[in-house]
Structure 1
Amino acid sequence: MFKYYILALFLIAIDQVTKYIVVTRMEIGEQLELIPNFLYFTSHRNSGAAWGILEGQMWFFYIVTIVVVGVVIYFIQTNRDQPMLQLGFSFILGGAIGNFIDRILFQEVVDFIDVYIFDYNFPIFNIADSALTIGVILIIILILFEDSKGKGKIKND
């Protein structure tokens, strides 16, 4: 079970190291082209949630993150017989804490992964956002596709 917490710590570390590099080596708005017309590193800050929703509402994010972290730890502990579910929750845990650290330290989140899909510039994100997304998608897949076998059910007792 500790391997899920170690994975979360690894995700937090990668997230924070990449953000540190961006903060110390790039000016806000500066862009580095990695794959032309597709992938860039763009130094960006976000004081809200995805797409800038609830901008500047730090106390809301502090409270929500503390609750989410508590719930996620509870589900990791109570679903010991479901390693894939624990894996999904460990990604969520790492992502939530990664962005929480930014909010505590800077009152905003450091974003830098900038993807263009055809002519659409997808909102800039970071490693923590990616981890959260992977965790949520994994849990949704497990619940939807394994529920019929009785393995996708989340225990909450």
Structure 2
Amino acid sequence: MRTDCSVRLAFALAALVVAADAATKGIIAAVVPYGSSHEWLPVLNIVHLLNRGAAFSFLHDAGGWQRLFFIGVALVASVLLVFMIRRADSSRAERISFGLILGGAVANMIDRIARGAVVDWIDVHWAAHHWPAFNVADIGITMGAALLIAYELFGRKRAQQRAEQERA
């Protein structure tokens, strides 16, 4: 039963990331003029940018072919993530991680299909130094990846130790 519950949780998290991303991008597209920037906090601006590339605007100016390429990558990654979530030997932490990454991948893929590019709207900066703008889908992907790395570094050993103690 625990497995079924963590599978449902992973897909619920994916759906939550997709919904939150769609809602926030919809608000930004409707309210914030394209290309504008509004200071919200001393280290945070709300912007409206379109990214035709991937993370850090990789391949942004590649001429248009990258749209279908990134849609294909997101589709393949999403299928693999669904498989990994449903895999019997995936841990709860891995499933949660995969769910967050899946939600981000699907959300950005939907944006590429619907808008031709991904809406980025969060601009974090310190003085004149700006981190590349991002969105809720990117937060889901980053949180999922960070959780997966933390689990691999720290959690997997503990889980194996617990399993060995239970067998002894």
CA RMSD of aligned residues (A): 1.5
Which residue of the other structure, out of 103, 114, 136, is the alignment partner of 1:105? 114
- In structure 1, the residue corresponding to 2:53 is in which secondary structure? coil
**Total equivalences in the alignment:** 150
Question: 1:64-75 to 2 correspondence within 5 Å?
Answer: 64-75=73-84
1:80–1:12 distance in 2 versus 1, CA, 3 Å:
farther
Which residue of the other structure, out of 116, 135, 146, is the alignment partner of 2:155? 146
Which residue of the other structure, out of 45, 53, 58, is the alignment partner of 1:48? 53
Q: How many angstroms does 1:3 deviate by?
A: 2.1
TM-score with structure 2 setting the length: 0.83
Residues 86-138 of structure 1, C-alpha deviations (whole Å, 9 max, x = no match): 11011001100110010000110000000003541000000000100000111
Identity fraction in percent: 34
Instruction: Indicate if the aligned counterparts of 1:39 and 1:116 stay in contact, CA closer than 8 A.
Output: yes
Instruction: Indicate if the aligned counterparts of 2:84 and 2:98 stay in contact, CA closer than 8 A.
Output: yes
**CA–CA distance in structure 2, aligned partners of residues 4 and 60 of structure 1:** 26
1:2–1:80 distance in 2 versus 1, CA, 3 Å:
farther
**CA–CA distance in structure 2, aligned partners of residues 97 and 28 of structure 1:** 23
Q: Gaps (5+ residues) in structure 1?
A: 152-157
Q: Gaps (5+ residues) in structure 2?
A: 1-6, 161-168
**CA–CA distance in structure 1, aligned partners of residues 94 and 9 of structure 2:** 13
Report the structure, 1 or 2, having the larger helix content: 2
